[in-house]
Amino acid sequence: MGLSPNALSSVKNENFSCKNFKARPLILVNNMPEHILSDRSLIDVSAVLKKIGVAVGDKVADLGVGGTGTWTFATAEIIGESGTVYAADILKHVLQAIESKAHLTGFYNIQTVWTNLEIYGAAKIPEKLIDFAYVNNVLHQSKQPENILKEAGRLLKKGGKLLVTDWSRATSPFGPSKDTRIDPDVVKKHAEALGFKLIQHFSPGKYHFALVFQKE
């Protein structure tokens, strides 16, 4: 991509505990391989990003990047040299893997941020900078989903958009336990209480819902 390697940095925040944030296990059927459950296989990520309007030069926060960083790298390709995607997660090994892949593939518009998303103000990303924030397949893992949405709101500029995707509560042959899945109406309630306005609601894949909010 012709970007300076200095643009890629790891931002560390030592002042948090991860004791309240625990990933919940996926339920596999018939010993299905874990890669079947990846974002890329279940959701057309690039199509979703185009649908919500991610564009060249945008500043994006991927809050809870997951094991492969699918949303992070798809975003980095769209936003180009003039944009930045902040890949934020609580797991250091995930961020290290993303850094390595970014260097190998030439995506120097990615910055990693080690943080606990449930703690307001913990993410070392400038406030009111972000055009798009993503919270993808994260809220069902948290006992404090409203705190994660609040942190996203802190980072977004006025008029910025928040994308939330998660597992639908309909029965599926795999995925997290049904009783841990979050209802989109609950997400909407939390988001609207924080000053967000729902502007899109669609199905990005057979087993997920997507909500797009705008910061007012």
**Is residue 8 left, alpha or beta, with left meaning phi > 0 and alpha meaning psi from -120 to 50?**
beta
pLDDT in tens, 85-134: 999 999 999 999 999 999 999 999 999 999 999 999 999 999 999 999 99
Looking at the chain, the whole-number percentage of residues with pLDDT higher than 70 is: 81
Whole-number Å distance between alpha carbons of 54 and 99: 22
Residue 74 has phi, psi (to 5 degrees) of: -65, -40
Tell me what pLDDT residue 17 has. Answer: 39
pLDDT in tens, 56-85: 999 999 999 988 899 999 999 999 999 999
Pairing of strands 196-205, 208-215: antiparallel
Whole-number Å distance between alpha carbons of 168 and 149: 18
- Domains present along the chain, CATH in parentheses: 44-169+178-215 (3.40.50.150)
Dihedral over alpha carbons 72, 169, 30, 205 (to 10 degrees): -40
The reported pTM is 0.82
Tell me what pLDDT residue 41 has. Answer: 60
Which tops the pLDDT comparison, 163 or 15?
Answer: 163
Mean pLDDT of the residues in the chain = 86
Amino acid at 161: K
Token readout for 15 is 């002042």
Q: From residue 32, give the alpha-carbon distance in Å to each of 26, 164, 175.
A: 11, 26, 11
Tell me which residue of 87, 96, 115 sits closest to 14, measured CA to CA: 115
